[in-house]
Amino acid sequence: PLLMAKAAVLTFLPILTWLPSYPVKQYLFSDVVSGLSTGVVQLPQGLAYAMLAAVPPVYGLYSSFYPVLLYTFFGTSRHISVGTFAVISLMIGGVAVREAPDSMFYTLPANGSNISAVLDVEARDAKRVQVAIVLTTMVGIIQIALGLLRFGFVAIYLTEPLVRGFTTAASVHVVISQLKYLLGVKTQRFSGPLSAIYSVKAVFSDITSANITTLILGLACIVFLYGVKDINERFKKKLPVPIPGEIIVVIVSTGVSYGLSLSEGHKVDVVGKIPTGLLPPAAPEFSLLPNLVTDSFAVAIVGFSMGISLAKIFALKHGYSVDGNQELIALGLCNFVSSFFKTFAITCSMSRSLVQESTGGKTQIAGLLASLVVLLVVVAIGFVFQPLPQTALAAIIMVNLLGMFKQFRDIPTLWKTSKIELAIWFVAFVASVLLGLDYGLLVAIAFAILTVIYRTQSPKSAILGHVPGTGMYCDLEEYEEAVEYEGIKIFHSNSSIYFANCDLYVNALKKKTGVNPEHLQAALKARKKQKEKVNYNHASPSKICVKGVTSEIVSNNHLMEEQRNCQSGEVHSVSDSEQSVFLKPPGDVTSIILDWTPVNFIDTVGAKAIKQEYAAVDVQVVIAGCSIGSTWSGLQVWLSTVAVSLEETIPSP
- Please, how many CA atoms are within 13 Å of residue 165, restricted to the half-sphere of its CB? 28
pLDDT (mean) for 222-246: 86
Cα angle 511-516-521, degrees, rounded to a multiple of 5: 170
pLDDT in tens, 354-368: 888 888 888 999 999
What is the C-alpha radius of gyration for the chain, rounded to an integer number of angstroms?
Answer: 36
pLDDT class of 155 with cuts at 50, 70, 90: low
Other C-beta atoms lying within 10 Å of the C-beta of residue 622: 18
Check residue 110 and give its pLDDT: 61
Give the global pTM.
Answer: 0.73
C-alpha 111/C-alpha 269 separation (Å) is 28
What DSSP state is assigned to residue 279? P
Check residue 263 and give its pLDDT: 84
Q: Please report, for the chain, the start and end positions of each structural domain, with discontinuous segments joined by +.
A: 1-454, 460-517+586-643
Q: What is the 3-state secondary structure (H, E, C) of 518-553?
A: HHHHHHHHHHHHHHHHHHHHCCCCCCCEECCEECCC
Close Cβ partners of 315 (under 8 Å, ≥ 6 residues apart) = 77, 78, 321, 322
pLDDT (mean) for 226-248: 85
179-212: b (≥16 Cβ within 10 Å) or e = bbbbbbbebebbbeeebbebbeebbeeeeeebbe
Q: How far from the centroid of its chain's Cα atoms is residue 460's Cα?
A: 26
Check residue 574 and give its pLDDT: 43
User: Is the Cβ–Cβ distance between 86 and 347 less than 8 Å?
Assistant: no
Query: Measuring CA to CA, which residue among 437, 536, 455, 537 is closest to residue 494?
Result: 455
Check residue 501 and give its pLDDT: 82
Check residue 256 and give its pLDDT: 92
Does residue 272 carry a pLDDT above 50?
yes
C-alpha 449/C-alpha 430 separation (Å) is 17
C-alpha 445/C-alpha 38 separation (Å) is 34
Check residue 145 and give its pLDDT: 94
Check residue 653 and give its pLDDT: 41
Cα dihedral across residues 286, 288, 290, 291: positive or negative? negative
pLDDT class of 555 with cuts at 50, 70, 90: very low
pLDDT (mean) for 637-646: 43
Across 236-240, 462-466, 625-629, the highest mean pLDDT is recorded for: 462-466
* Average pLDDT value for the chain: 82
Other C-beta atoms lying within 10 Å of the C-beta of residue 474: 17
Check residue 338 and give its pLDDT: 95
For residue 480, count CB atoms less than 10 angstroms from its CB and return exposed for 0-12, middle for 13-18, buried for 19 or more.
exposed
Cα angle 640-645-646, degrees, rounded to a multiple of 5: 115
pLDDT class of 112 with cuts at 50, 70, 90: low
Question: Which residues pair with residue 643 across a beta bridge?
Answer: 623
pLDDT class of 132 with cuts at 50, 70, 90: very high
For residue 486, count CB atoms less than 10 angstroms from its CB and return exposed for 0-12, middle for 13-18, buried for 19 or more.
exposed
Query: Measuring CA to CA, which residue among 135, 88, 81, 89 is closest to residue 374?
Result: 81
pLDDT (mean) for 6-21: 87
Check residue 576 and give its pLDDT: 44
User: Is the Cβ–Cβ distance between 294 and 352 less than 8 Å?
Assistant: no
Query: Measuring CA to CA, which residue among 609, 595, 615, 617 is closest to residue 515?
Result: 617
| Per-position DSSP letters for 144-212, written without gaps between them | HHHHHTT-GGGGGGS-HHHHHHHHHHHHHHHHHHHHHHHHT---PPP-STTHHHHHHHHHHHTGGG--H
pLDDT (mean) for 512-531: 77
Check residue 113 and give its pLDDT: 56
Question: Which residues pair with residue 107 across a beta bridge?
Answer: 118
Q: How far from the centroid of its chain's Cα atoms is residue 19's Cα?
A: 35
Q: Which secondary-structure segment (H or E) carries 46? A: helix 24-52
Does residue 4 carry a pLDDT above 50?
yes
SS3 of residue 411 by DSSP: helix
Check residue 111 and give its pLDDT: 60
Q: Which amino acid is at 171?
A: S
pLDDT in tens, 583-603: 333 457 888 888 888 888 888
Check residue 537 and give its pLDDT: 64
pLDDT in tens, 368-423: 999 999 999 888 888 888 898 989 988 988 888 887 888 899 899 999 998 999 99
**Which CATH entry fits the domain spanning 460-517+586-643: 3.40.630.30, 3.40.630.10, 3.30.750.24, 3.30.1490.20?**
3.30.750.24
pLDDT in tens, 180-189: 888 888 888 7
User: Is the Cβ–Cβ distance between 196 and 432 less than 8 Å?
Assistant: no
C-alpha 152/C-alpha 143 separation (Å) is 9
C-alpha 411/C-alpha 274 separation (Å) is 43
Close Cβ partners of 387 (under 8 Å, ≥ 6 residues apart) = 254, 257, 258, 262, 263, 270, 271
Query: Measuring CA to CA, which residue among 593, 605, 607 is closest to residue 635?
Result: 607
pLDDT (mean) for 480-503: 86
pLDDT in tens, 296-307: 998 998 899 888
pLDDT in tens, 73-97: 999 999 999 999 988 998 899 899 9
C-alpha 221/C-alpha 217 separation (Å) is 6
Check residue 74 and give its pLDDT: 93
SS3 of residue 81 by DSSP: strand
Q: What is the 3-state secondary structure (H, E, C) of 292-315?
A: HHHHHHHHHHHHHHHHHHHHHHHH
Check residue 236 and give its pLDDT: 80
Query: Measuring CA to CA, which residue among 402, 393, 352 is closest to residue 168?
Result: 402
For the chain, the distance separating the N- and C-terminal CA atoms, rounded to the nearest angstrom, is 61
